[in-house]
Amino acid sequence: MARGWESKSVEAQIDAAEMQRSSSLRKPVTEQDLELIRKRESLTLSRTRVMREIEGAKNPKYQAILKKALAGLDAQLAALGR
């Protein structure tokens, strides 16, 4: 039984070493990249919220406003290249 645990430990160490090697080969993330990621995540969260509000809205006028907001968010996400 100990042998099984030992082999899993070795396998985990090999995986960790491979992950470290692959992460060191990546280019460093710039401030611009981080800002783009943050903006995309913010827009995606807003889009999710608007979708939930559309599902729960009973007033057709409010639904229309939400659908326009959704279209605007989709346009912004498309401009960022999703």
Q: What is the pLDDT of residue 1?
A: 47
Cα dihedral angle (22, 28, 33, 37), rounded to 10 degrees?
40
- Interval 6-34: pLDDT, tens: 555 667 777 777 777 666 566 777 888 89
Average pLDDT, the chain: 84
Tell me the three-class secondary structure of 6-44, residue by residue: HHHHHHHHHHHHHHHHHHHHCCCCCHHHHHHHHHHHHHH
Q: Give the long-range contacts of residues 67-73, CB within 8 A, separation 24 or more.
A: 73/43, 73/46, 73/47
Whole-structure pTM value: 0.63
Q: What is the pLDDT of residue 60?
A: 95
Q: What is the pLDDT of residue 6?
A: 55
- In the chain, the number of structural domains is 1
Residues of the domain holding 6: 2-80
